[in-house]
Amino acid sequence: MTQNSAPSANPATTHLRVLSCNILAGGSVKRYREYVTHSWKHVLPTGKRANLDGLAEILPEFDLVALQEADFGSLRSGFLNQTQYLAENAGFPYWSHQPNRKVAKVAASSNGLLSKLKPSEILDYPLPGRIRGRGVLWVRYGSGEQSLVVLIAHLSLGPQARAHQLGYITELLEGHANALLIGDLNTPIESPELRTLFKRTSLVPPSRPPATFPSWAPNRAIDHILGSSTIEVDELRTLPHLVSDHLPIAATVRLPERLQLVGPAQAS
């Protein structure tokens, strides 16, 4: 965990404004053919910092931001740690990142966390898979039974690999009554692998998950903010396309009053 500056004392909070973004290393795709015609942009930093600056303008309204496909310093990002850059430019006192996959000096992918609350524990878990390079960033706020555990993940494209990864995530959730699973899970809520996750954990599927992919004509709900049965995930919505080929997904998360996490001032 890295602390940007010492935050002022704030009252306990019983709800959090949460955002999840697959940021595609700061790139932007507006139609399918751009994956081919603009392929050079994926390995060069052109325009990416400006895209991140636009994203940073909307981030301060949130208390916790989960990032996927954030570059931690390679050619495609101009050797910039994008999680750190967003934290500093959006005014988040705490940030952390989980390097996952590095391809020479061209690409360096990671999961990231921006937080206005101070985490009490951060752990880094690699996910199983035939192709290595995906992981879970495990974050705890508070302690003991009164803690909140947040898992940030970017899962594989293949259903069999996702099933193994979600089985591993099931193990990470054991014993934690208050939990959030956030990220690009690459699969809709009704998929067999997520149905199995809901059967084996206390996570609750949303009734109307918004479509997040592709960003220019969203028709698939594959990015998720999932809460355990003790937590209410309200106002689940997407934000306008600013970066990436996914839309950001946001929610207000209402926590059990007994948690009383020390963090930002409560939203009205």
Percentage of residues of the chain with pLDDT beyond 90 = 69
pLDDT at res. 40: 41
Q: pLDDT tens-digit profile of 69-113?
A: 999 988 888 889 999 999 999 999 999 999 987 776 767 889 999
Percentage of residues of the chain with pLDDT beyond 70 = 87
| pLDDT above 80 for 126 | yes
Please give the average per-residue pLDDT across 135-149, as a whole number: 93
How many CA within 13 A on the CB side of residue 174?
Answer: 7
- Can you read off the two tokens belonging to residue 238? 């997407």
Question: Which residue, among 120, 122, 147, 152, has the nearest Cα to 136 in the 3D structure?
Answer: 152
Residues 6+ apart with CB under 8 A from 34: none
Q: Can you spell out the DSSP letters for 57-114?
A: HHGGG-SEEEEEEEESSSGGGTS--HHHHHHHHHT-SEEEEEEEEEETTTEEEEEEEE
**Beta strand pairing status for 249-254 and 232-238?**
antiparallel
Please state, in angstroms and rounded to a whole number, the distance separating the CA atoms of residues 175 and 89. 36
Q: pLDDT tens-digit profile of 30-73?
A: 665 555 545 445 556 677 899 999 999 999 999 999 999 999 98
pLDDT band for 236, please (50, 70, 90 cuts): very high
More confident residue, 201 or 2: 201
pLDDT at res. 12: 62
Q: pLDDT tens-digit profile of 184-222?
A: 999 999 999 999 999 999 999 999 999 999 999 999 999
| pLDDT above 50 for 265 | no
pLDDT at res. 167: 98
Whose tokens are 């479509």? That residue is: 211
Q: What topology does CATH give the domain 14-261?
A: Deoxyribonuclease I; Chain A (3.60.10)
pLDDT at res. 124: 96
Please state, in angstroms and rounded to a whole number, the distance separating the CA atoms of residues 69 and 23. 6
